[in-house]
Amino acid sequence: MLMSMQGHELPANHPEDADEQPQQDTAADLVQQPAESSGNCINPTSVECLPGTSYAREEESDEPSQVDTENSGDSDPDDSDFDPANEGNSASDDSAPSDHDDDPNIHQGPETLANPNDPTPPAPANAPNVANPADLQTRGRKRKRSVDSWKQNVRRNNRVRGRAYKATTGRMVEAKRPKPACSEVCPKKCCTLFSEDDRKEICQAYYDLANYERQKDFICTRVEEKAPKQRVGKNTNKRKVSRYYSFPKGDLRVPVCQKFFCATLSISEKVIQHALKAKGAAGTFESSDRRGKHAPGKKSPERNLEGARMHIRSFPAMESHYCRKDSQRKYLDARLNIRKMHRDLYPQWCHQYGYTPVSEKVYRGIFNSEFNLGFHQPKKDQCNTCSKYKNLLGDAKEAYQPIYDEHVVRKQESNTMKEADKKSSQTDESVKAITFDLEAVLYTPYTDVSLLYYKRKLAIYNFTIYEQDSKDGYCFLWPESEGKRGADEIATCLLAYIRSLPATIHHIKSFSDTCGGQNRNVHVAAAMLYAVRSIDHLHTIDLKFMESGHSSMEVDSMHAAIERERKHQKIYNTHEWGMICKAARRGRGSVPYEVYELKHTSFYDFHQLSDQLIKNRSYTTDGQKINWLKLKWLRFIKQKPNSFFCKQRLTDDEFMEVNVVQQGRVRESMRAQQVAASTPSLGSAYKESLPISSQKKKDLIQLLDSGAIPEEYRAFYANLKCRRNVREALPEPDVDEGDPEDDVDD
């Protein structure tokens, strides 16, 4: 469909030139043409070449500088509880640049390793990767251990409390209670001084102490050792001390015999001997419970353990996408796992820096207990409703059943309507049905070199559109240095595609996921309203949204094909990702995907357009308040240039109309109508290319210096701008991140 884009020159993309542009532009108007001497964009003319056409390895020549960039709404929650109508209007996370924004160490080579024989472990050149390693050690990766619930600890606690427990042999041990006491012939008459209830009370008081040391104190304070008063004969094997036992009764200490004492507490004489052996001058137990406190027979030296910690720290870890205050977890490369880190990367690292490797069990234990790290898995089609329903039991599940059933019905409705749109586009030439989505983040360089796992890489974004009738696919590529992945970028790509459609297309029907930061927001709505106003042949645009967590669409086949094609490939810049995307579609008679590479000058500022075009975004014409999180259908009609229409269910009978020039519930004025009738011009989203973090720039230059990236790509990476205060975070949400509505008040 984009054959008509050949030969078009790129306009300047400035507001003052808007009046000189024709009403119907092509997608090439939004694609940066490469310069004659150098460039980094795909020429629309070359896109139409035969499948065998390859890209030239050209490099950028822009000089690096430090700039502040405007926020483009780089947020992409899925069904989040923030207001999509105001998405992207918050201030940028980046603070003002410093006087020396470029990292002075960017071009330094690897640091030399200290003496391996030094007892203090040295810091290798590529570790740690964070300013403060303690940031990775706020808590363990796994959930907190419930030590008290361990069987051995439950058994130990029951024993020290005198309760019944099951021994390790499987034998049931009865609860502690006083044993039969001494006979009536006892000279101290113990049985007459203490009743059975008194004995039970003393026994219970002893075991209620529930502490090894305090129980020994109990014994030490009630057993006194003295030298014998007299000895009979000359036998030197006789005991050297006599023990005097007593129990309290009221305010008195009543002497008892040893048998009565042991029988009442249900202990043996050895317990008393051990307690008195550690009795101090103050008459208390001065030792401690040393059971299980001995050092292991085979314990890894501390230097080897520290080496394992340093290896884990050497991997670049990024904050979560939403950067929650209540979570300190950071994320490693999605291609990593603990076994790969230990088996494939750790031995080589130890050999290089002179450490002795620890076992995988020890390495895994350190990773899980001392580091709060995870492996990034993009949050895609993770249905909270289905997961919650699956985990509920009993009455709670039965109470949740209506919500789950309604969720399943909405899922079926979206799939049914998507198929209906597909059939309508196949039978009606004036209808175009599409699905679109932003692919999971791609990275460059992309190779199997082990050094890449220790370095930060440049993110590449790929927005894809799939036509339901022709099965043609379109890829819009840009690196993180040229744009973000928010509403401005998505709206720009959609407008580029819509402008390229032939004049026979009057109705566009689209399906996408419910990502509020990218698809379902007021900025994309402003772009579609702008399109129906400015393109003569376009009468209606429908934006429909899949059920959250069940957004499987035909466009996903493009992503799978690209992932299959990139296996065992070496990719070093955006151009080569374009070649991978173009070659991803195989098969006899298959048309290659159309690939367009965008620059920062290609993106329009739809935040500004929405402020100018949409004054009312919250109320319908009959006064109902709109919940953007529940909208499933947005419609834009040329005959109603000052309104858009919406539904909360795809199967609702009637649309709700929203007059964009009406302020709240006040009727629109003539002046507002005149302002809305004139289509505003489009301004640029970015004045200059975006900076990456200084640490990422340093890593990329080190990859060049080490030869992991061929020298011919140096200009491309060296010309990237950088700043120290650019936040290092995941460019997309992770699977274990909650939705932002958890942090937003209703």
Please write the tens of the pLDDT for every residue from 246-303: 999 888 899 999 999 999 999 999 999 999 998 888 888 888 888 777 777 788 889 9
Q: How confident is the model at residue 745 (pLDDT cuts 50, 70, 90)?
A: very low
Q: If residue 375 lies in a helix (H) or strand (E), which one and from where to where?
A: strand 373-375
Q: Is the confidence at residue 690, as pLDDT, over 50?
A: yes
The mean pLDDT of 729-737, rounded to a whole number, is: 54
259 part of a folded domain: yes
Residue appearing with tokens 């039978």: 427
Residue 48 lies in a domain: no
Asked if residue 442 is part of any domain, the answer here is no
Per-residue pLDDT at 143:
60
Instruction: Give yes or no for a contact between 643 and 657, defined as CB atoms under 8 angstroms apart.
Output: yes
Cα 510 to Cα 519, 544, 632, distances in angstroms: 11, 6, 12
pLDDT value at residue 726: 82
Least confident of 35-39, 449-453, 622-626: 35-39
pLDDT band at 82 (very low <50, low <70, confident <90, very high): very low
373-377, 436-440, 568-572, 663-667: range with lowest mean pLDDT: 663-667
Say if residues 140 and 371 touch (Cβ distance below 8 Å).
yes
Residue 735, pLDDT > 80, answer no
Local structure of residue 131 (DSSP, 8 states): S
* Amino acid at the residue 104: P
Q: What percent of the chain has pLDDT over 90?
A: 42
For residue 261, give both structure tokens.
């004492």
Phi, psi for residue 214 in degrees, rounded to 5: -70, -35
Is the predicted pLDDT of residue 155 greater than 50, yes or no? yes
> Which has more pLDDT, 716 or 331?
716
Judged by average pLDDT, the poorest of 107-116, 576-585, 660-669 is 107-116
Number of folded domains that form the chain? 1
Q: Distance between CA 716 and CA 576 in Å, rounded?
A: 13
pLDDT band at residue 134 using 50, 70 and 90 as cut-offs: very low
Looking at residues 70-89, what average pLDDT do you find?
Answer: 42
pLDDT at 647: 92
Residues 6+ apart with CB under 8 A from 9: 33
Q: Which residue has the tokens 């009978």?
A: 653
Report residue 378's pLDDT band, with 50, 70 and 90 as the boundaries. low
For the record, the structure tokens of 161 come out as 């409390």
Region for residue 37 given its phi and psi (left: phi exceeds 0; alpha: psi -120 to 50; beta: otherwise): alpha
Interatomic CA distance for residues 449 and 630, integer angstroms: 46
Classify residue 544 as exposed, middle or buried by CB count within 10 Å of its CB (0-12, 13-18, 19+). Answer: buried
- What local confidence, expressed as pLDDT, does residue 185 receive? 84
pLDDT at residue 420, rounded to an integer: 94
187 in a structural domain: yes
Q: What is the mean pLDDT of residues 524-528?
A: 93
Q: In this structure, what token pair is assigned to residue 571?
A: 């990719």
In this predicted structure, what is the pLDDT of residue 590? 81
Write down the pLDDT at residue 182.
85
Residue-wise over 587-602: b if at least 16 C-beta within 10 A, else e?
Answer: eeeeebbbbbbbbbbb
Q: What is the pLDDT of residue 23?
A: 42
- Check residue 585 and give its pLDDT: 86
Residue 615 pLDDT greater than 80, yes or no = yes
Q: Does residue 37 have a pLDDT over 50?
A: no
At residue 596, the pLDDT reads 94
- Low-confidence winner among 281-285, 398-402, 693-697 (lowest mean pLDDT): 281-285
- Is residue 392's pLDDT more than 90? no
Is residue 582 exposed (0-12), middle (13-18) or buried (19+ Cβ within 10 Å)?
buried
User: Which of the residue ranges 15-24, 349-358, 503-512 would you say has the lowest mean pLDDT?
Assistant: 15-24
CA dihedral 477, 482, 487, 493 (to 10 degrees): -40
What is d(CA 490, CA 495) in angstroms, rounded to the nearest whole number? 9
pLDDT of residue 320: 64
Instruction: Kindly report, residue by residue over 320-344, the tens digit of the pLDDT.
Output: 654 444 557 788 877 788 998 998 8
pLDDT band for position 100 (cuts 50, 70, 90) = very low
Q: Which residue has the higher pLDDT, 736 or 111?
A: 736
- Given a cut of 90, whether residue 476 has pLDDT beyond it is yes
Domain around 253: 148-277
Which range is least confidently modeled, 264-268, 291-295, 456-460, 651-655?
Answer: 291-295
Q: Given this model, what pLDDT does residue 54 score?
A: 35
DSSP 677-698: HSPPPPPBS-SSPPPEEHHHHH
Mean pLDDT across the chain: 77
Provide the pLDDT for residue 49: 34
Q: Is residue 189 part of a domain?
A: yes
Tokens standing for residue 533: 């106003």
124: alpha, beta or left? (left if phi > 0; alpha if psi -120 to 50): beta
Query: Around 8, how many Cα atoms within 13 Å sit in the side-chain half-sphere?
Result: 25
Which residues, including other chains, have CB under 8 Å from residue 353's CB and lie 6 or more apart?
113, 116, 122, 124, 307
Q: Containing H/E element for 659? A: strand 656-659
- From the centroid of its chain, how far is CA 92? 20
Average pLDDT (659-676) is 57
pLDDT tier, 704 (very low <50, low <70, confident <90, very high otherwise): very high
Position 133 in a domain: no
Interhelix angle 384-391/394-427, rounded to 10 degrees, is 150
Long-range contacts of 386-395 (CB under 8 A, 24+ apart): 386/549
pLDDT at 141 over 60: no
How confident is residue 632, by pLDDT bands cut at 50, 70 and 90? very high
Query: E strands along 540-613, which residues?
Result: 540-545, 594-597
More confident residue, 96 or 332: 332
Helices (H), 286-379: 302-313, 338-340, 346-353, 360-370
In Å, how far are 99, 256, 269, 283, 372 from 223, measured between CA atoms? 76, 10, 12, 10, 51
pLDDT of residue 250: 85
pTM equals: 0.63
Residue 197 included in any domain: yes
Give the residue carrying structure tokens 């822009």.
62
**How many CA atoms are closer than 13 Å to the CA of 329, on its beta-carbon side?**
24
* CA atoms of 469 and 510, how far apart (whole Å): 12
In a domain, 153, yes or no: yes
